[in-house]
Amino acid sequence: MNNDVVSFTISVSEPAIEQLNAKLLATSFADRVEFSDAWNYASPLGDVQRLAKRPPTFSQSPLQYLLNALKPYTSSDKAGLARSVWSGNEGFGYNVEQSTKPSTLGFALAVSPVALLAWVYEKLHDWTDDYAWDDDEILTWVSIYQFSEARPAASVRISYETKHAVADLYAQRLTYVPRVKLVVSLFPKDVVVPPQRWAHSLGPVAFAAVHDQGGHFAAHERPDLFAQDLRSMFGRNGGAHDVARKFDPSL
């Protein structure tokens, strides 16, 4: 297996940066109130103001119902279900907007880099396991949206397209697929954290791991755990080793 890491460079034109800076200079922020910096209201005003004052920097980056009824959930399953409930109650508003009227939101994200910053930053905070984001990381992630050729509004349309897909196609997400091996890695602060055994209702599980750290962006937040799972599942003794050999018979 080739272990070489291939890097890539983000390149942004000067006119695009100048246009961004002009928008930032013309930004009017919301008035400060007693809850302006409370995360339960979304991205804190103080953080957004601080980040918006800095120029963007760039870096190189890289579901068995029967069993559920018969066997009680373990503590990690309960925690995962609690996390899933929290996400549905307190963190799903973004999806309701994106999956129903994405273009309305898209106008704001296209016009205001501060709106884009606040929209993305909220999820970087809420979907990680107390990960210590530094300003350069935050601005790099947001800049990928800001300077992409598709522009920021394109990123919110996937929710609409998923919700409005053909019903049969949409339902296939939760059907059992017998001939495709399924590998599962669960992280405690992901958006939805189902019990591990639920995965057996979706396909033949070739590998499963339940971690006590990490969130939705596990590949960035805990690359060591993510890479360890990949090596275990595709390695010589892994449940998906035969899949890897189809790409490289020498493995």
Q: Check residue 49 and give its pLDDT.
A: 73
* Other C-beta atoms lying within 10 Å of the C-beta of residue 121: 21
Widest CA span of the chain, in angstroms?
Answer: 63
pLDDT value of residue 10: 66
pLDDT the model gives residue 118: 92
Q: Is 120 exposed, middle or buried, given 0-12, 13-18 or 19+ CB atoms closer than 10 A?
A: buried
Q: Give the pLDDT confidence score for residue 6 in this predicted structure.
A: 72
Tell me the C-alpha distance between 18 and 15, whole Å.
5
Q: CA 209, CA 218: separation in Å to the nearest integer?
A: 13
As averages over each run of 10 residues, the pLDDT of the chain (251 residues) reads 65 72 72 75 74 49 41 78 88 90 90 92 95 93 90 89 76 78 94 86 90 96 95 93 91 85
* Tokens representing residue 34 in the block: 């007693």
∠ CA 93-124-156 to the nearest 5 degrees? Answer: 50
Q: Tell me the pTM.
A: 0.75
The pLDDT of residue 53 is 60
pLDDT at 48: 80
Residue that is written with structure tokens 């008035």 in the block: 31
Give the C-alpha distances (Å, rounded to integers) separating 9 from 58, 59, 61, 140. 9, 7, 8, 12
